[in-house]
Structure 1
Amino acid sequence: MSRKYKIRDQEKLYFVTFTIVEWIDLFTRRIYRDILLDSLRYCQQNKGLDLCAYCIMSSHAHFIIGRNGEQPLEGIIRDVKKFTSVKIIEEIQINPQESRKDLLLWHFSKAGRFNPNNKSFQVWQQHSHPVELNTNDKLSRCLHYIHHNPVEAGIVLSPEEYLYSSASNYAGLTDTLMEVILVE
């Protein structure tokens, strides 16, 4: 892994991206998005995750995260990815309505076979490319990028309309999916 993409200061906020292997459009189904959100909630409550911004797109998710406990940020990221991978694979296997079951399992199995860190399936790409947000300008640019991702993709006209994003939190709306720590 490049030294450019390492978490050096555990007390800083970081912009990270979790990407599905081969950029597969996994998060087109609500159940998989909800697995990710549930894992993030668990880490907020039990592992010291500070979630400041998020956006779940079809093949990836962006976050601004920090920590408020003793567990290293890398450990929290690892735990989220590991837990969600297992749960997503289980859901694919048992869901009779998953029309892409064979295709998804084949791709995740293929990725897992070529990665010595996995036993059988790999859902997430290995890297998260953490970028330390050590200036207000970087923080502001990343926050804008995260929240405008669905707008740029042509999914919504304004960021706060996208359900699976913290843009609604920042717009002051009360009906949001996740609690976040507002920054700017």
Structure 2
Amino acid sequence: MGRSRYRVYDSSYPYFITSSLVEGYPIFSNPLAAQVILDALEFIQNKRSTTLYAYVIMENHIHMIVQNDKLPQLIQAFKSWTARAIVDLFSENGHTFQLYKMRKSKNPSHNDSVHQLWQEGYYPKQIFNDEMMIQKIEYIHNNPVKRGFVDHQEDWRYSSMRNYLGMESLIPVTLFELCQQSCPLFVWERSFRR
């Protein structure tokens, strides 16, 4: 884990996580690289007892809301596995420029690898209450709109927005259901369509 003022203090809470790529390279604009992340998100849900509430994969970073009893170790393994898988994928497919960029950006103190995909750290922010959870989910789903990639949140394939709207999605997530039990459905949907 990189040096950061952010820490996981209580694993009984979900955390908002941000992980960025070295030098901001747009590696995830390659659909094969984005698929590696989707596969890893599904794996941690199915095999590592992780609850994934929301996610978005942007061209050079990811945001997610996750909960796991061993979150620091989980994120370290997630980043290590996805980096190895993407380097292998790019090697097999002859993406020499991307490999060169990841090799050039590698922290010289890392002797265990030739390439570096992820920046150090993952900036966990503990989600303390329902209002913060809704704010972070909205932030995640609005990221592609704010960046100007799509006009509507549900148009970005690489996010959990479609899950929240009951549409066909790329991977499952655990829906945060604050308003579905105590509020009319239109209030719930409206809160995710800003």
Q: With the length of structure 2 as denominator, give the TM-score of the two structures.
A: 0.85
Q: Distance in 2 between matches of 1:117 and 1:148?
A: 38
Q: Distance in 2 between matches of 1:33 and 1:121?
A: 18
Q: Partner residue of 1:45?
A: 46
Could you list the runs of 5+ residues in structure 1 that have no partner in the other structure? none
Q: Distance in 1 between matches of 2:165 and 2:112?
A: 40
Shift of 1:113: 4.4
Q: Deviations over 1:14-72 (max 9, x none)?
A: 000111100100111110000111111111111111110000010011100002xx5x0
2:19 aligned counterpart, secondary structure:
strand
Q: Distance in 2 between matches of 1:112 and 1:146?
A: 28
| AA in 2 matched with 1:181 | T
Q: Distance in 2 between matches of 1:19 and 1:91?
A: 19
- The partner residue of 1:165 within 144, 159, 163 is 159
Q: Conserved in 2, the CA contact under 8 Å of 1:112 and 1:118?
A: no
Q: Conserved in 2, the CA contact under 8 Å of 1:113 and 1:119?
A: no
Q: Distance in 1 between matches of 2:139 and 2:109?
A: 31
Report 1:22-171 matches (<5 A): 22-67=23-68, 72-96=70-94, 101-116=95-110, 118-171=112-165
Q: RMSD of the TM alignment (CA)? A: 1.4
Q: 1:137 to 1:117 in 2, by over 3 A?
A: farther
Is 1:15 the equivalent of 2:16? yes
| AA in 1 matched with 2:173 | V
- The partner residue of 1:176 within 169, 176, 189 is 169
Shift of 1:123: 0.4
Count of residue correspondences: 175
2:51 aligned counterpart, secondary structure:
strand
Q: Distance in 2 between matches of 1:117 and 1:32?
A: 24
Shift of 1:117: 6.2
2:105 aligned counterpart, secondary structure:
helix
Q: Distance in 2 between matches of 1:44 and 1:136?
A: 22
Could you list the runs of 5+ residues in structure 2 that have no partner in the other structure? 179-194
Q: Partner residue of 2:191?
A: none
Which protein is bigger by CA-based radius of gyration? 2
1:120 aligned counterpart, secondary structure:
coil
Q: Distance in 1 between matches of 2:50 and 2:106?
A: 27
Q: 1:117 to 1:136 in 2, by over 3 A?
A: farther
Q: Conserved in 2, the CA contact under 8 Å of 1:21 and 1:124?
A: yes
